[in-house]
Amino acid sequence: MIFVTGPLYAGKQTYIQTALGLSDGDFALRAVRDVQELAAGADLPALADELARYEIVIATELGGGLIPVDKAEREKREAAGRLACLLAERAETVIRVCCGLPQVLKGKLS
């Protein structure tokens, strides 16, 4: 599994589609995105196992910037970060994309 992460609107999907030569249709069949939205209240290890079945998993980083005052928002952000860690453990390749520029953190893109 290839795990792609990075800030909102950083070009994560565009980068991976270009790097792997995927059309929009191919991407829809082989990938899942915005997985951070699934984390709140979930069994994170089980969710990570389920998501790791996809070839490509994309998550937006929620941990930057100001810490939310609302407890529920902090918990949502914490769960998203923990899910990202679990996905990175399970991934063969981890890529962080910022400003459209990829940084391979683990493995390699072949």
* Cα 7 from Cα 13, distance rounded (Å): 12
The average confidence (pLDDT) of the chain is 96
Q: Where are the domains of the chain?
A: 2-106
- The predicted structure's pLDDT at residue 63: 78
The phi, psi pair for 63, rounded to 5°, reads -85, -5
* Cα 91 from Cα 2, distance rounded (Å): 6
Q: What is the pTM of this model?
A: 0.95
pLDDT tens, 61-77? 997 778 889 999 999 99
- The predicted structure's pLDDT at residue 64: 78
Residues of the chain with pLDDT under 50: none
**What angle, rounded to 10 degrees, do the helices at 44-51 and 71-90 form?**
50
- The predicted structure's pLDDT at residue 61: 95
Q: Which CATH architecture has domain 2-106?
A: 3-Layer(aba) Sandwich (3.40)
